[in-house]
Every structure is written in structure tokens, then in C-alpha cells.
Chain A
Amino acid sequence: MWQPKMSLNRRRFLATTALGAAAAATGSLAMTSVLLAQGAAVKLGVLHPVTGALSYSGQQGRLGATMAIADINAAGGIKSLRGTKIDAILGDAQSTPQGGTAEVEKMNAAGAAGIVGGYASSICLAVSQAAARYNLPYVVDVGVADSIVKRGLKNTFRFGPGFGVIAKTALDNLVAINDQAGKPAKTVIIVHEDSLFGSGLAKLLNAQLPAKGFQILDTIAHPTPTRDFSTIVLKIKARNPDLVIPANYYNEYVLLARTMREQHVRLKGIYSVLGGAASSYKFVHDFPEAARYIMDCNHWFNPHSEKALALKKKVEAGGHYFTYEVYMNYSAVELIADAFERAASTDRDKVIAALASSTFSGHIMPYGPTKFVDGQNQGAAPVNTQVLDNDIKVVMPPQFANAKPVFPMPA
């Protein structure tokens, strides 16, 4: 087709883009209300690292978010908006912060009423900042770095617990479990991956464990990926600790646990904090022997919630594992849908206000009452799990527990 040639000089460029931006700003708001009045969908950005190094977690996260959207739509959509359905705008952060930022731009341009996801702390940090520029409500699904909610961004909310709360709970519960058993564990070796997550945790444990009566025999860092754990396990055997505390990602966690079993390492317990595989049904299914009695302080669902168990069944029926990414994203979507419901609008200010004042209940997480302070849900907390009878049981805190901890682990 013939088109007239147009030269694009600076003046024309500025004029057209300025006009376009103004039209988009006013037009998109007007459009939103017109479309909503017609019962068009509420657009929700679902942003995860579905390719690249974090792709497994990202894909699991997307699964949880899209299942929540499907369930909400099947139950009649957003009722205060005359049953408007939620429409997912799927985004791929490509496992990088800049990938996440680029998706925020696209989602904003597509008229998203909010964004859910991020997964990794680094991506959440970038996404929250990019979304804040557009006053776009953002619910963090997993990212545990405390700084995500400590930068005064009004648009950012985290339903799950942050690193500080997780580490404190992990230490308190370790002391409680050890005390209940008559303090059998006195010495510890920490095995951690050497990036921000593992090193930060190791530093915190080194600072706090001695004060709680534990002697740290060694702190062993390793890179990700690590191909072989034989040398690390040799060191562990040589020092013969009561407890090993691993802080690493799934693959390395599995290799470490397998090598410890292969080398017949005898311990009183393996206690992880946000352990890569410790609270993973896949690990328990694939290596029941190596996984037995491993304890973990991590994100988990409420095992007494009928809704959680029904969701687990549904996820497993689809051939997927019920990992924390799934139920944390499911909950994050439910939280923002509840905000749409109470705001009775997709106006960004109103949705942010509804999130800030949220007392969202009826969710599937083992949390206290929902109350947001500076974007952080004060009720959020991790639980302690243990691999018992080829299953993962909650052993702490008592109100959510469905088993008692077995410690020290039987030889």
C-alpha cells in the first residue's frame, strides 16, 4: 500500500508524542470507565520470570496467579463492578530486574489496574519502583528483601513475610524445638550459597546463634551452581556438628542432601531457613530417604484450610507440584481482587487506599490478621515444616501445626 512519506523532525516528533501522551492519559481513564460500564475486564498484570535462571519459580508463580484469576472469574468476578471479570496481562521478567521494568511499562500502557508478582527480590525492587512512577498498585508475591517495602513507595504491598521476620521466627523456633527436646544440639555448621540471600542469612545466623547457646563450627560458602558437594560434606564429616543449616537453592540443596546421605553423615538435625528443597514436595517425592526429617522455616499454606487443600489437589491434578510460588501468588491475586471489590473501582488511588486498609481474611495462608503498615502485612509469618512419613508437615507454630517435631532425628 502506498503511504505518503513524512519526514520526522524534532518539532513534529515533540508535537505528536506530547499530543499522544496527553490523549493516552486522558483517554485511558475515560476508556476504563466506559469499558467497565460495559462490563469489560479489569486488567491485572501478572509478572514473573518465566524464562531464564528463575524460570521454574516464575512458571509456578504464573500458574498460581492465573488459577486465582480463573477461580475469581468463575465465582462471578468483581461483584462491586457488576461482575466484571479479571483479565490477566502476562509478562515475563526474563529473570532480570530490567526485564521486569520493561514489562511494567507495557502493562501500564495496556491499562493494567494493578500488578502482581516479581518473585525474586531484585526484580520486585525494580518493578515496585517502575510501577510507583505510574501510581500503579503492585502486590509483591514472594520477594523477601526487607528493602522492598521500606522505601516509602505508596503503591507497593507485600502479603507474605519479609526476611527479618523469617530469620527471627527461624531462630526462635530452632531454640524452642531444641529446648523442648532437652537441648541435644549445641554445634552447628552453616552451608550457604554465596549471593545476597545465602550470605545475608549466614551473617545473621553467625551474629545471633552464639547468643542463643549454639557454637558455630564452620560457615561454608559455595557458588550457584555447584557441581559437586563431596568436599563440603568431607568438611562436615570432619567437624561432626549436631546440626547442619543449609541456605541454598533447590538444585544445590538436593545435591548437598544426597551427598550427605551417600557419605553416611550422622546429624541430630538438618534445619534450613528458606531451604531450597526442604519444603518441596518434589524433593520428598524424588528422594524420600535423603529428605526424611529435614526441617525448614519457610513460606507454607495453612494445612487446616479446606480451601488450601482443595487448591493443592487441583494443582496436583494438573501435574504440577504445590510449591510456595503457587499459593503465594494465588493469595496475592486474591488480595488485590479484594481491594478492587472494596474500592468498587479500578482507579489507582482508590485501589491503593483499599489495599492499605485491607483486613483481607478467608485466605489460605497461616497468617495472623491482615494489617498493612508501610506496605507490609503485619500478620505474615513463616512456619516450620518437617518431612515426616513421606509428607511435609507443619510442626510450628502450634495453631497451624499438623504434626509434632521429631528432633533429634532418629539414626
Chain B
Amino acid sequence: MPSPLILVAAVLNGLMTGAVYALVALGLTLIYGVLHIINFAHGALLSAALFAAFFAYQILGLDPYLAVFVLAPVFFALGYALQRFVIGPAARGDERNMLLVTLGLSVFIENALLYAFRANTRTVEVSYAFKSIDLGFTFLAVPRLVSLAAVFAVAFVLWLIMALTDTGKAIRAVAKEKLGAELAGIDVAHVYALTFGLGTACVAIAACLLIPTYYVNPSAGNAFVPVAFTIVVLGGMGSVPGALIGGLVIGVVESLAGFFLGESLGEVGIFLIFILVLLVRPRGLFGSST
């Protein structure tokens, strides 16, 4: 039996890893909640955001944590434009078409990145990459602690937007009853694009938090997609608190399962949860029953 302190360390690790998962899942769940589509381009957009964060650091000397404030708006605009001018018109109002268009987009983005930047794996070395806090029994890596704090901040801001602003109300209205919202004068195409933009901005924030300790190549983002899907299902499709809690839970489950069963089987824990949730509580922890 391993010492309890090691288990505490494993749980802490899981929470910090889960924070980044949650951030990737936040974008996915927002888009699902409103547009009712699984955004297959999410992983490719994450790769693109990782490249953006990488070049912001390499070329402009912009620290990844400061780059958040530039890249999040840029990716918001990118997401908005993608939905408004590519996905929306190409889908012609059919949700199934949207699904296929995002799939096509993911292939396009990934190959465009491969063409432009080759398959080379790149990393940034920031001064704080190896900074850690000594707890006596383990070291907490500072960049990962920052991610944990940031994901709470982002989830809080998103919750504020959704709960208190007119935009948030419009988004919720469209999510609940598209036709009714349209009849009440809400510009549905605009709300769709706003939501896609918000989801894409979340991806950009995740990329900026990841890049100090992770790497980027044209398919780097894909590693996070299956786990993000699981979180969306666990937390409830379209639920912001669900994605946050789901991300942290999945992080801890992955860490503990990896510790007891080995890393190869660690993923089994995640997908076991996925199947269990679908069987027992298909709407997820925080999903609405409708």
C-alpha cells in the first residue's frame, strides 16, 4: 500500500492536470450547449492556438500568460468568423451538416499547420517552467498551479457572462428554444457565432496555460479531445460548472487510476466513467433534464 502522502500528491497532480482538461472542455460544452453540435475542429483549433502562443513567445517575446490577453480576443474573433462565415453558411441550418463541416475544418486546419510549420515538435523555455513549491512530500509545479487558478477565473467569468449579461441571456434563450428566441427578436446566427467565439477563446486560454509545460506540433491538440468529450458528458452537455467539476474529477481519476493500474490502463478509468454516466445519468452531473 503506498503511503497516504503519495496519494495526496497524486490527487493534487490530478487536480492540476484536470484544470487544463476543464478549460478545453469548457469551450466544447459551450458550443454543444447552444449549437447542439460536437465541434470536431476543437483539437485542431487547440493546436492552432498552441502555435499562436508559441510564436507570440518566440517572435514577439510575449510571455504565454500575457499572451492570453491578446490571443483570447483574437481567437474569439476567429471563432466568430468561422461560425458566421464558414460553418453556418456551409451547414445551411442543418445541425448534421455542421458536424461534418467542423470535421472538414479539423482536417483542413491540421494539414494547413503541417504545411506551414512542418511536423517539428516545438517547446518554449520560460524562466518559471521548472519553478515549484516544496510541500515536503511533493513539489507543486508553479505553471500548473497557475492553470488551476486560471480555470476557476475563466469559469467564473463565463458564468458571469451567462448569468448577468444580455448576451448571456440571449445565448441561454437560443440554447433552450431557438425558434422562440428568433421570434423574440434575437439574432440567432449572431448568437451562434458569439458562442463559437467564446468556445474558441477558451481554447486559446488553455493553449497559453499549456505551452510553458507542454509542446506543440500540428496534432498536439488532439491528445486533449477524447478526454474533453468525456468531461462534457460527465459534467452535462452545455453546463459550465459541469465542465469545471468534470475536468477536475477526470484529472483525479486519471491520476489515481494511473497510479494503481498503470498509465496504459489509467485511460480505462476515464472511459469507464464515460460509459457509467451514459448508462446511469445520461444528462450528466449538471445537465438539465430537458
Where the two chains meet, the residues of A that have a C-beta atom closer than 8 Å to any C-beta of B are 51, 53, 55-56, 58-59, 194, 220-223, 225-228, 230-232, 234-235, 238, 250-251, 254-255, 258, 261-264, 282, 286-287, 289
- CB-nearest residue of chain B to A226: B263
Question: What are 23 sample pairs from A and B whose C-beta atoms fall under 8 A apart?
Answer: A55-B119, A56-B217, A59-B119, A220-B262, A221-B264, A222-B262, A222-B264, A225-B223, A226-B263, A227-B17, A228-B13, A230-B17, A231-B255, A231-B266, A234-B6, A251-B215, A251-B217, A255-B214, A262-B141, A263-B132, A263-B139, A286-B125, A289-B130
Extra contacts besides A227-B17, A251-B121 (9): CB < 8 Å:
A55-B114, A56-B217, A230-B17, A231-B258, A254-B123, A258-B130, A262-B130, A286-B123, A286-B125
- Which residues of A are found within 8 Å of B139, using beta-carbon distances? 262-264
| A234-B9 contact, Cβ under 8 Å, with A251-B215, A261-B130 | yes
Q: Are A56 and B123 within 8 A (Cβ)?
A: no
Q: Taking the complex as formed, is B288 at the interface, i.e. its CB lies under 8 A from any CB of chain A?
A: no
For chain B residues 196-251, which have a beta carbon within 8 Å of chain A? 213-215, 217, 219, 223-224, 227
How far is B263's CA from A223's CA once the two chains are assembled, in angstroms? 7
For the complex of A and B, 7 pairs with smallest distance between CB atoms: A55-B119, A222-B263, A230-B13, A56-B119, A231-B258, A225-B223, A221-B264
Contact partner, B264, options A53, A223, A255, A261, Cβ 8 Å:
A223
Q: Is the interface of A mostly helix, strand, loop or mixed?
A: helix
Query: Within 8 Å of chain A (Cβ to Cβ): is B105?
Result: no
B263: which of A55, A221, A258 is its contact (CB, 8 Å)? A221
Nearest-neighbour CB distance to chain A for B24, whole angstroms, equals 11
A221 contacts which chain B residues (CB < 8 A)?
Answer: 262-264
Q: Separation in Å of the B164 CB from the closest CB of chain A? A: 34
A262: chain B residues within 8 A (beta carbon): 130, 132, 139, 141
Task: Chain B residues near A258: list those with CB within 8 A.
Answer: 129-130, 213
Interface assignment of B190: CB less than 8 Å from any CB of chain A: no
In the complex, what residues of B have CB within 8 A of residue A286's CB? 123, 125
How far, in angstroms, from A55 to B117 measured CA to CA in the complex? 12
CB atoms of A53 and B130 under 8 A apart: no
Choice from B129, B215, B227, B263 contacting A220 with Cβ under 8 Å: B263
Q: What are the residues of chain B within 8 A of A226 when measuring CB–CB?
A: 263
Residue numbers in B under 8 Å from A223 (CB-CB): 263-264, 267
Write out the residue numbers on chain A whose beta carbons fall within 8 Å of the beta carbon of B290.
none
**Chain B window 8-19, contacts with chain A (Cβ cutoff 8 Å), 1 for yes, 0 for no:** 011001101100
